[in-house]
Homo-oligomer: A and B are copies of this chain.
Amino acid sequence: MSSSRKVIELFYDVVSPYSWLAFEVLCRYRNVWNIELKFHPAFLGGVMQGSGNRPPAMVPNKGEYLVKDLTRLASYMNVPLCQPSNTFEVMFEKGSLAAMRFITAVVENAKDGDRLVENVSREVWKRIWSTDQDICEPSSLSEAGLKAGLSSSEVEELIRQAKSQPVKDKLKQTTQEALDYKAFGFPLIICHVDGKPEVFFGSDRFELMAYCIGEKWLGPQPDKLTSYL
């Protein structure tokens, strides 16, 4: 059975709210579609720099639209997303480097596969994109780790490892892998179909993705099906 499962890879950064939407939808579909979902925490700043892209909100009309779009999508997708009180500071001044190194350390230590990576990522996302809390300080990442089910000593060890060269290098490597898939932003989703990678950008291509991988799209809340009844 397991060899017939389609592999879907998600490259993401917790600084990206659209990545959170994609993450939650793909997690919900893990058991609806016959897929193996692989998480690749990476650094969006590196992708923007490497691709020569610039943040969409640098165009004021686009910035205004994105706030509205995210609010509507989060409601429709049932993800508890709220704008931070100072989005610019949170996204561009404070950034996500420490957080993504922490999550990368989780990946490097994961014993029970991706479940812990999923839980820690979600807890960090909730801080930055739901409850307007810091994700830069070790104490912040520690809180997220504890909520995700890690022990105090595990969290301490991960925070230590997050500053190590191997973890820094691993995050750079994952970011480079996204650039090798021609990333220009996140989320970047790779569906492996008949041995060929199909690349999707954004959290608005699930219906198309379903068509490409031969599965059915049942809306962002497949357990509810409200849209299609």
Query: A: which residues have CB within 8 A of B?
Result: 51-53, 59-62, 64-65, 68-69, 72-73, 76, 179, 182-184, 198-202, 204-205, 207-208, 210-212, 216-219, 227-228
Indicate if the CB atoms of B53 and A61 lie closer than 8 Å: yes
Indicate if the CB atoms of A76 and B208 lie closer than 8 Å: yes
- For the complex with contacts A53-B59, A69-B205, 9 further pairs of A-B residues with Cβ separation under 8 Å are A51-B60, A53-B61, A53-B62, A65-B199, A72-B198, A72-B208, A204-B204, A207-B207, A228-B228
Subset of 9 A-B contacts with CB under 8 Å? A52-B60, A61-B183, A61-B184, A69-B201, A69-B205, A72-B198, A76-B207, A202-B204, A218-B228
Indicate if the CB atoms of A59 and B184 lie closer than 8 Å: yes
Please pick, from B51, B52, B64, B211, the residue contacting A182 in the complex, using a CB distance under 8 A: B64
Please pick, from B68, B76, B207, the residue contacting A219 in the complex, using a CB distance under 8 A: B207
Chain B residues near A202 (CB, 8 Å)?
204
Which residue of the partner chain B has the closest CB to A188? Answer: B65
Indicate if the CB atoms of A201 and B65 lie closer than 8 Å: yes
Please pick, from B69, B218, B227, the residue contacting A211 in the complex, using a CB distance under 8 A: B227
Given A59-B52, A62-B53, the answer on whether A76 and B211 have CB atoms closer than 8 Å is yes
